[in-house]
Amino acid sequence: MKRSFKTIISEGYEQFIKDIKQTKWAIIVIIAYFVFGRKFIYSICPLIMLTGYPCPSCGLTRAGIRLLHFDFEGAWHMHPFIYVVAILVFHYCWNRYIRLQLRQPKSMKILAGIALVALVIFYIYRMVRYFPGEPPMSYYSGNLLHTCKNFLANLFVQ
């Protein structure tokens, strides 16, 4: 039976609200983390806070914001994999909220795995080619390991 456009939107919206209700605590924790990180910490990335080195996905949030502002060139410059992420998110939402498939097809898992491997390869390329350079490929010296090393050095020198 063919579903009408109104039915597709209505059923997709209902599924979306169910998903939000089931994950409300995770959403609240993520929002709190971002608000806290923005207010009190120089970075919201745990890897940067710990080591000072950028992670493979460094720049994806900023690229996503630029993409939402239709700054396609800026999004590409910040992190080209934002387009892969956007395609995967669109594919997921299409299957979940339009086709109402509660389980994602195997092709989605394979695409996500390939994208993850490609992201790590691209990260290695960016580290060799651009590190340390302009953000996001910069070293942040206020990290926890650097601070601990300085603290221990000062402790044992005296």
Amino acid at 5: F
Q: What is the pLDDT of residue 85?
A: 93
Measured CA angle at 91 (ends 122, 87), to 5 deg: 35
Distance CA 58, CA 105 (A): 28
State the pLDDT confidence band at 89, using cuts at 50, 70 and 90. very high
Contact (CB, 8 A) for 145 and 52: yes
Contact (CB, 8 A) for 27 and 116: no
CA distances from 117 to 34, 62, 114, 128 (A): 27, 21, 5, 17
Segment 63-70 shows an average pLDDT of 94
Lowest-pLDDT range, 4-18, 26-40, 53-67, 87-101? 26-40
DSSP 2-13: PPPHHHHHHHHH
Segment 112-140 shows an average pLDDT of 86
* Report field, pTM of the whole predicted structure over 0.85: no
Decide if pLDDT at 158 tops 70: no
139 CA to centre of own chain: 19
Q: Which residue has the higher pLDDT, 145 or 42?
A: 145
Q: What is the pLDDT of residue 33?
A: 82
Instruction: Specify the 3-state DSSP secondary structure of 104.
Output: coil
Q: What is the pLDDT of residue 128?
A: 86
Segment 136-158 shows an average pLDDT of 80
Distance CA 134, CA 105 (A): 39
Decide if pLDDT at 115 tops 80: yes
Q: What is the pLDDT of residue 50?
A: 85
| Residue 18: φ, ψ to 5° | -60, -45
**What does the pLDDT look like over 16-51, one tens digit per residue?**
999 999 999 999 998 888 787 777 766 677 888 888
